[in-house]
Amino acid sequence: MPRVVPSEQLSKLLATLHEAATACHTCSLAETLAKRDYAIIRVLSATGIRVAELCELSVVDYLETESALRVFGKGSRERLAMLTMEEDRECLIDYLAERYRLEPKSDHLFLNGRGTALSTEGVRGVLRKAAAAADLPCHVTPHMLRHTAATCLLEHGADLRVVQTYLGHASVRSTERYTHVSNAHLRNVLERCHPLRNAA
């Protein structure tokens, strides 16, 4: 079972990426890549999409009026990945405004420095570099971000069927493996909801 990224470490990771994306205004390739990296990690963290799904996204798959990404998952099943926070949308728009600096040779949304589609290994490299810059104590993978997003939804009361749709699972059985509950969360819930807490 993949591990989750603790919330304080995820916040630190995103803060480090945000700082790099907004640090300079040189209109350089490095600045564009920093904006791309921030958008990638925010999208993965916010939507729980698979890294392969992220890499297959096209520019036209960003549906600005719906604040969503059109994702084609396993078996070519289509779903919408909602971008519900303003910061998620803003960082994507900021990257798109500068994407042309990468001299695109592809319609893929996320490009490498040569203007071609960013690979799944390229995304993992972005995450490794970002985690090192944030001085995180643990290794972070794209699937850990997916697992973290799903776990967060479940721990905050999301219905299993909602999480199934969110993750793009054909069967709810695939989603059920995300229903593990951390010991800390279990203890917290039990302390608040103990059946004898309000007993006379």
Name the residues annotated as catalytic: 50, 74, 143, 146, 169, 178
Q: How far apart are the first and last CA of the chain?
A: 42
Q: Which of left, alpha, beta for 48 (phi over 0: left; psi -120 to 50: alpha)?
A: left
Is the four-CA dihedral 120, 124, 125, 127 of positive or negative sign? Answer: positive
Alpha helices, H only, 48-159: 51-56, 86-98, 120-133, 142-155
CB atoms within 10 A of CB 60: 9
**What is the C-alpha separation between 38 and 13, in angstroms, rounded?**
9
Closest by CA to 87, choosing from 144, 136, 22, 137, is: 22
Two tokens, residue 187: 């203890």
Which helix (H) or strand (E) segment is 47 a member of? helix 29-47
